[in-house]
Amino acid sequence: MALLTKRHFVLASASARRLMLLQQIGIAPEVIVAEVAEAEAASGLAPAALVTENARRKAQAVASRLGCCDAWILGADTVVALDGMIFGKPRDAADARRMLQALSGRTHSVFTGQCLVDGESGRSLSQASETRVRFAVLDAEEIDAYVATGEPLDKAGAYGMQAQAGTFVLSIEGDYSTVVGLSLPMLRLMLRALSVAEDSCGK
């Protein structure tokens, strides 16, 4: 993981789950939360374009705040999509219940967008990852019990696969970390691509 540890790393997100994923691969990032207006589902953007745009806004806002610096700056955004509908974080318990009822017994997509900025050169790369998730059929009682834990309220699609809602997931097709909120395989490729770009410019 030499590419990941050469330079200072900044996570432009308040997400504890994204921080945990980075720590799992040996990165101890500085966390700087981006204060930006995010594009919303009603903007008409497709899910992959929506999360990529929001990741870009977060990363670029923090990069602008820091100025030229020897660091990687990473922004990310995640949504759930089903039948043309985009589910972000629920507004309240009733909204969380609605989302879980819609996902029950169905296969949906989780999209995570990431933007990586080279703080020294200003170069950036934005990409999105999609993972398909198959849910078990959930009855009203277990949906209510899960919503009552409060866990769904700060998670796209109203569930966290890495926590209690892991019992709802029958199978996934794609990258597990995309569902948690930060695609580690995609991050590796983005770091490699930007590092190659640096080398080609004589750095």
Out of 77, 83, 144, 199, the active site residue is: 77
- Residues 6 or more apart whose CB falls under 8 angstroms from that of 200 comprise none
- Residues 6 or more apart whose CB falls under 8 angstroms from that of 137 comprise 104, 105
Instruction: Look up 95 and say whether it is catalytic.
Output: no
Q: Which residues of 66-81 are buried (b: 16+ CB within 10 A; e: fewer)?
A: beeeebbbbbbbbbbb
**Torsion 110-93-139-15 (CA) sign:** positive
- Residues 6 or more apart whose CB falls under 8 angstroms from that of 151 comprise 159, 160, 163, 164, 165
- Residues 6 or more apart whose CB falls under 8 angstroms from that of 181 comprise 15, 17, 18, 21, 76, 78, 112, 156
The Cβ of residue 11 has, within 10 Å, a number of other Cβ atoms equal to: 27
Q: Known catalytic residues?
A: 77
